[in-house]
Structure 1
Amino acid sequence: MRPVTLHTLMHHTGQARTVKWRPERLSTDTARQLIRRGRRSNAAVRVYVTTDRDGTPMHVAYVEFGPGLYDNVDAVTDIYEIPTEALTSL
């Protein structure tokens, strides 16, 4: 089961547009590991509890990496959409 959807956004230095990767499906365990890794690397990590458009409870985690992660990149943001049911069923 891969209930978590990861969206990655990258802003290159000197460019006006933001690069968006195709959404990626992850397991809940993999998402937790990646969010923890972001915390250890001093990324700004924020988690919000909300609902999707159908009213299904979910958590949205933002992991914002600043400059220095990649050359010529100002910021990288990973956005995790995690259904609350996936967290409570572990």
Structure 2
Amino acid sequence: MRPATVTTLFKYTDKQAIARWRPEPISIDVARQCLRRARRNGHTVQVHQTTARDGSSVHVAHVHTGPGHWDAVDYVTDIYEIPTDALTDL
């Protein structure tokens, strides 16, 4: 089973372009912890179930952290891709 992945996007206050970190693999447990922490801290969290390009079922979680959490950054967005099988095989 493939691990979850997270991609981070952020927009600096002084720049028009949005910076992007390369997708990185993380464990299912770490993804769950990050989503719980985001909800607990009042960030916007949306979770959608969809189908990946290879036909497998995945959950895509979008975490939006607004301004005020980092200097010179307007917002940060984390996008988690979690295989549905990993959530149901516990």
Same fold (TM over 0.5): yes
What does residue range 12-27 of structure 1 map to in structure 2 within 5 Å?
Answer: 12-27=12-27
CA distance in 1 between counterparts of 2:32 and 2:65 reads: 16
User: Which residue is 1:46 aligned to?
Assistant: 46
Give the 4+ runs in structure 1 shifted more than 6 A. none
TM superposition score normalised by structure 1: 0.95
User: What is the Cα-based RMSD across aligned positions, in Å?
Assistant: 1.2
Percent identity, please. 56
TM superposition score normalised by structure 2: 0.95
CA distance in 1 between counterparts of 2:58 and 2:2 reads: 14
8 Å CA contact 2:44–2:65 kept in 1: the answer is: yes
List gaps (5 residues or longer) in structure 1.
none
* Aligned-residue offset at 1:69: 1.4
What does residue range 1-80 of structure 1 map to in structure 2 within 5 Å?
Answer: 3-80=3-80
SS at match of 1:29: helix
List gaps (5 residues or longer) in structure 2.
none
